[in-house]
Amino acid sequence: MAELVGVFAASHGPMIVRNWKILSAAEQDGLASAFAELGKRIKSARPDALIVISPDHWVNFFIDNLPAICVGVGEEHDGPPEPWLKDFPHRKIAGHPQLAEHIVHAAIKRDFEPSISYRLALDHGFCIPVWKAGLEPLPPIVPVVFNDLEPPFPSVKRCYAWGAMLAEAVASYPGKLRVAVLATGGLSHSIGEPDMGRIDEAFDRDCIRRLENGDPPALFDFLDERLPAAGNGASEVRNWVAAHGAARGRGFELIRYAAIPKVYVGCGFASWKL
């Protein structure tokens, strides 16, 4: 049987790459050490496959065709199309179709209705964290796209349930496989809005505390109340909630948090204690 060997989360802000040269030495060191620690923990888990939960930033989908959740079931996916990610080392990224299809069937049995894609372009949301964490060789990836960009969004509670379902799907997979989950995005940020660049550090720290406390209902209540005012990009916290569900609400360990205006994001990195 397969085993869930790790659950992790990381920010994926594009300006982490695009504005790297204008960051202070302390900011660069802090982000580099956070990604290095994240990579160390993922590599220590020795995953044979990595489920990555991220939004699609208008690369595969748009408002004329916008699934709430889509699972990439293909044998191969395309690397990031953004020209500023030209140094990303993979133009093609291996999928794990057997695990992905098993997840889809498990989801349907549990009354979820995921969309599927046999080939996705994996943009910066998927690629920046695995790249900067130094995951080489890159394990096969099962991409799970959450709509965090355009309302209506999946409810916070539903995202947690999705994560719990992922854990159940891994546990029921018939082959011997070590699987990890990586949620990417967040924390607070605002993009393309009048308050672009605003970081709600108080929200971020309150959210982190609730993840550390491991009380899912309290987390749901907090996010239902506070998430809408934390910036349009903060919706990506839903991916962290799914990771929390995959870890069954167990203890959350913050690797690092820093509000960095030059990258427009409250940058967080974490792992769960399984």
pLDDT at position 13: 93
Number of domains in the chain: 1
Read off the CATH number of the domain in which 206 is found.
Answer: 3.40.830.10
pLDDT at position 91: 95
117 and 77 in contact (C-beta within 8 Å)? Answer: no
Residues of the chain where predicted confidence (pLDDT) is lower than 50: none
27 and 256 in contact (C-beta within 8 Å)? Answer: no
In tens, the pLDDT along 4-37 reads: 999 999 999 999 999 999 999 999 999 999 999 9
Structure tokens at 92: 């093609």
Structure tokens at 229: 């005012």
Angstrom distances, CA of residue 98 to CA of 119, 140, 174 = 14, 11, 10
pLDDT at position 1: 79
Strand order in the sheet with 49-54: 115-117, 69-72, 141-146, 49-54, 178-184, 3-10, 265-272, 252-260
Segments forming the whole domain that contains residue 211: 3-272
Burial class (CB in 10 A: 0-12, 13-18, 19+), 151: exposed
144 and 52 in contact (C-beta within 8 Å)? Answer: yes
